[in-house]
Amino acid sequence: MAQKTVLIVYAHHSPRSFNAAAKDVAVQTLTAQGYKVIVSDLYAMNFQPSATPADFKGNLKNPEHFLYAEEAYIAWKEDRLSDDIKAEHRKVAQADLIIFQFPLYWFSVPAIMKGWIERVLTRGFAYTLQNTYDHGLCKDKKAMLSFTTGAMESKYQPDGINGDINVMLWPLQNGVLHFCGFQVLAPHIFWGPARASPSERTAMLEAWQARLKGLLEEQHVAFAPSELFDLSIQGGFRVRPEVKEAYRSKSYGLTTGQHLGKPLPPDNQTKTAAQDQYLVSGKPS
């Protein structure tokens, strides 16, 4: 069987951090299982986080009105993207799984990782206007978020002061990863390692190591498949009327995002499709 490749996109300044420890455990455990592991250590690489005209070699198509996505798409087709973006594209192209390892910043990824997302998941390479969600160009790859929080887990419960973690995950997991077609594995969340005791931190890393051993065989998180939507301009890309009708009597909506004005299906973004009794295979049951 061909060797599988895992790309870890990693954002922490310090090799002594808990994030570094989580990244190192992943490198060691996956390598020991025979995977090829590539790490993009964004701060060490001094990765350029801003999407700017410098991302394109040669002349811009419209310098008077610079539009990043348009220029990126043309530059991708004409092989004029900057060398650092092309280097990341080569890594992504090889990867069967991408793990994003980061400390949660402002309910999201650190700016340097947001820059990687903006610059590397280029139109043409990761998606096109016709190829999004389950038709995204990365549909044969898996991706997942592995992150630490400052806050304790209870703050991210549906009644916690920070709000339901599933809501926080939706923009990254649906708006970035699922949008590009990635099969999104359930996130791995290290709750408040700085608040934990040394033995609790060791236990967190051991649990991560145990999960890594079966990670590539895991089922992904369920999203509403595109056939549930009317993908026409007239239909507004909204959930089809018959699907809405089927959900009328149900207690919960389809997904965290497509909640249909109903209570959110519990843990929709943190459990796998097999565990999701509310959206089994995306079909209303």
Ligand X SMILES: Cc1cc2nc3c(=O)[nH]c(=O)nc-3n(C[C@H](O)[C@H](O)[C@H](O)COP(=O)(O)OP(=O)(O)OC[C@H]3O[C@@H](n4cnc5c(N)ncnc54)[C@H](O)[C@@H]3O)c2cc1C
What is the rounded distance in angstroms from the CA atom of residue 111 to the CA atom of residue 149? 16
Choose between 140 and 153: whose C-beta lies nearer to ligand X.
Answer: 153
> What minimum distance in Å lies between the beta carbon of 42 and ligand X?
14
> What minimum distance in Å lies between the beta carbon of 246 and ligand X?
37
Stretch that binds ligand X, among 65-73, 84-92, 99-107, 134-142 (CB under 6 A): 99-107
Choose between 101 and 122: whose C-beta lies nearer to ligand X.
Answer: 101
Choose between 18 and 35: whose C-beta lies nearer to ligand X.
Answer: 18
The one among 115, 136, 193, 284 contacting ligand X by CB under 6 A: 193
DSSP 187-234: PEEE--GGGS-HHHHHHHHHHHHHHHTTGGGSPBPP---GGGEE-STT
User: Helices 83-94 and 111-120 sit at what angle, rounded to 10 degrees?
Assistant: 80
Choose between 62 and 202: whose C-beta lies nearer to ligand X.
Answer: 202
What's the CA angle centered on 256, arms 272 and 106, to 5 degrees?
Answer: 95
Residues 122-151 vs ligand X: string with x where CB under 6 A? --------------------------xxxx
| Cβ atoms within 10 Å, residue 130 | 6
> What minimum distance in Å lies between the beta carbon of 21 and ligand X?
3
Choose between 17 and 131: whose C-beta lies nearer to ligand X.
Answer: 17
Choose between 61 and 201: whose C-beta lies nearer to ligand X.
Answer: 201
Cα 195 to Cα 22, 184, 201: the distances in Å are 16, 28, 9
The one among 49, 103, 115, 257 contacting ligand X by CB under 6 A: 103
The one among 44, 67, 87, 194 contacting ligand X by CB under 6 A: 194
Which class for 90: exposed (0-12), middle (13-18), buried (19 or more C-beta within 10 A)? exposed
Q: Per rule CB under 6 A, is residue 265 in the interface with ligand X?
A: no
Residues 16-35 vs ligand X: string with x where CB under 6 A? xxxx-x--------------
> What minimum distance in Å lies between the beta carbon of 165 and ligand X?
10
Q: Which two tokens stand for residue 262?
A: 């109903």
End-to-end Cα separation, the chain, in angstroms: 37
SS (H, E, C) 150-192: CCCHHHHCCCCCCCCHHHHHHHHHHHHHHCCCCEEECCEEECC
| Cβ atoms within 10 Å, residue 206 | 11
Q: Per rule CB under 6 A, is residue 152 in the interface with ligand X?
A: no
> How many chain residues bind ligand X (CB under 6 A)?
20
The one among 30, 95, 104, 224 contacting ligand X by CB under 6 A: 104
What's the CA angle centered on 272, arms 173 and 224, to 5 degrees?
Answer: 60
Q: Per rule CB under 6 A, is residue 201 in the interface with ligand X?
A: yes
Q: Per rule CB under 6 A, is residue 255 in the interface with ligand X?
A: no
| Residues between 39 and 98 that touch ligand X (CB under 6 A) | none
Provide the binding-site residues for ligand X, judged by CB under 6 A.
Answer: 12, 16-19, 21, 103-107, 148-151, 193-194, 201-202, 205
